[in-house]
């Protein structure tokens, strides 16, 4: 009986002109567009420079700023008022004023001062821009040797691409099957199923299994795109990734079933899923480190399944972590899966009473 129900699901999916395209287009957009757009790297900061010294030293400083990939020289105003006008008119993000006797102070062995004015409407952009400029102005020779582990080129896409696999699995294996169940309820066909010999468990499993299969196929597609677009290959075992993905899929499917049990229409289910997605994404560490959040927010992240799977996939991809290294995260996800499926069974019985 299960085989025929699964076959029916695949036939319905094939007859749908939109959903198969979405299943292919969504992971491609996530892997090929999002790592470039969703980035915290700050480059091409617009800078205006006021050179009051006009010496070889000040000119070399301006050339170093122009040569940096982080800055784009947009104006050379002659006065501070003109420089501030470029910031006010959104023509520059940073203003640097080089004072007179800049070179003379350096020759005499005294620290040469300079004025930096930063547009801090965007605090992150302003703070990083000031830090970059300070490194150019104050080079400190050091005997230390710096090695960047796991991401030697400090490429933000290497950090983002593995985490985006999580978002693909959430949508395809968690929320789409739940919407499929709600659509059956909205059409009234689920009531017809309830009076047939088909058990509720068999019916629900038939709704979930096709999307689980598609999820694993799309997971492989995303890993292939990460390799083709960014040269990114998992440093750890693929079997560890598949095992972790399976447990995470169980978690999200359990949450989706609870939502479908309490939703009578597609509109209700989609609204609740969007609410959950928004919270999950913002509190998962996808964009910003969890340690940067307030203490109360860090406590809430322990209730977020995306946090644990995102840690797992980054550890396997970037560090080459093995199964013993991720046992705590896998154990937590397994606990989430057990609780959510227990909640799904209880909520279904309650709705039928």
pLDDT in tens, 20-31: 888 889 899 989
The vertex-237 CA angle with 235 and 239, nearest 5°, equals 150
Looking at the fold, whether 127 and 158 belong to one and the same domain comes out as no
Same domain for 323 and 217: yes
Is 145 a residue whose pLDDT tops 90? no
3-state secondary structure of 328: helix
Residue entry with tokens 């997605």: 277
Domain boundaries, position 60: 45-137
- Its pTM stands at 0.82
DSSP string, 250-270: HHHHHHHHHHHHH-SSHHHHH
pLDDT band for 318, please (50, 70, 90 cuts).
Answer: very high
Which of 33-47, 274-288, 296-310 holds the top average pLDDT? 296-310
More confident residue, 341 or 139: 341
List 96's β-bridge partners, or say none. 49, 116
Confidence of residue 151 (pLDDT cuts 50, 70, 90): confident
Is the same domain home to 114 and 184? no
**How many Cβ atoms sit within 10 Å of the Cβ of residue 6?**
17
pLDDT at residue 142 greater than cutoff 80: no
| The pairing of beta strand 115-118 with beta strand 94-98 | antiparallel
**Structure confidence by residue, pLDDT tens digits, 241-283:** 999 999 999 999 999 888 988 888 888 898 998 898 889 988 9
102 and 228 housed in the same domain: no
The H or E element spanning position 116 is strand 115-118
Last residue of a domain, one of 85, 114, 137: 137
> What is the total count of domains within the chain?
2
Domain membership of residue 143 (yes or no) is: no
Q: For residue 159, what are its two tokens? A: 């950090």
pLDDT of residue 346: 82
Contact between 237 and 316 under an 8 Å Cβ cutoff? The reply is yes
* 214/233 same-domain check: yes
pLDDT above 60: residue 140: no
For the segment 140-150, the average pLDDT, to the nearest whole number, is: 68
**Residues forming beta bridges with residue 46, ordered by sequence position:** 72
Residue 145 lies in a domain: no
pLDDT at 176: 87
Cβ atoms of residues 114 and 137 within 8 Å: yes
Is the Cβ–Cβ distance between 204 and 257 less than 8 Å?
yes
Burial category of 154 from C-beta neighbours within 10 Å (exposed 0-12, middle 13-18, buried 19 and up): exposed
Lowest model confidence (mean pLDDT) among 84-88, 125-129, 189-193, 224-228: 189-193
| 144 domain residue, yes or no | no
**Domain check: are 78 and 25 in the same one?**
no
- CA-nearest of 268, 310, 283, 41 to 167 is 310
pLDDT value, residue 299: 93
CATH (domain of 76): 3.40.1710.10
31-40, 187-196, 284-293, 294-303: lowest mean pLDDT where? 187-196
Q: Residue 109: pLDDT above 90?
A: no
| pLDDT digits 0-9 by tens, 187-244 | 777 767 767 777 777 877 888 888 899 999 999 999 999 999 999 999 999 999 999 9
Residues of the chain above pLDDT 90, percent: 42
Whether residue 347 sits in one domain with residue 222: yes
């Amino acid at each position: 009986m299960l085989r025929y129900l699964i076959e029916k699901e695949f036939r319905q999916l094939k007859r749908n002109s939109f959903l198969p395209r979405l299943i292919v287009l969504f992971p491609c957009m996530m892997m090929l567009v999002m790592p470039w757009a969703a980035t915290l790297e700050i480059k091409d900061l617009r800078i205006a420079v006021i050179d009051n010294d006009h010496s070889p030293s000040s000119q070399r400083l301006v050339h170093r700023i122009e040569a940096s990939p982080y800055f784009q020289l947009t104006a050379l105003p002659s006065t501070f008022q003109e420089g501030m006008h470029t910031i006010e008119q959104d023509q520059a993000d940073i203003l640097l004023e080089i004072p007179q006797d800049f070179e003379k102070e350096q020759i005499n062995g005294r620290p040469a001062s300079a004025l930096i004015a930063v547009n801090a409407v965007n605090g992150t952009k302003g703070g990083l821009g000031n830090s970059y400029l300070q490194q150019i102005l104050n080079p400190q020779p050091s005997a230390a040797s710096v090695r960047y582990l796991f991401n030697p080129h400090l490429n933000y896409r290497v950090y983002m691409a593995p985490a985006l696999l999580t978002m693909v699995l959430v949508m395809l294996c968690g929320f789409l099957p739940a919407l499929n169940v709600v659509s059956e309820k909205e059409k009234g066909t689920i009531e017809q199923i309830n009076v047939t010999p088909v058990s509720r468990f068999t019916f629900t499993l038939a709704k979930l299994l096709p999307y689980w299969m598609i999820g694993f196929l799309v997971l492989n597609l995303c890993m292939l795109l990460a390799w083709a677009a960014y040269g990114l290959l998992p440093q750890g075992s693929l079997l560890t990734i598949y095992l972790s993905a399976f447990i995470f899929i169980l978690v999200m499917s359990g949450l989706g079933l609870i939502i479908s049990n309490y939703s009578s229409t597609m509109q209700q289910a989609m609204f609740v899923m969007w609410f959950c997605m928004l919270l999950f994404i913002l509190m998962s560490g996808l964009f910003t480190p969890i340690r940067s959040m307030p203490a109360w927010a860090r406590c809430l992240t322990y209730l977020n399944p995306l946090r644990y799977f995102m840690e797992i996939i980054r550890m396997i991809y970037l560090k080459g972590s093995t199964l013993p290294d991720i046992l705590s995260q896998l154990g937590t996800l397994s606990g989430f899966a057990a609780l959510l499926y227990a909640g799904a069974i209880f909520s279904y019985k309650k709705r039928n009473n």
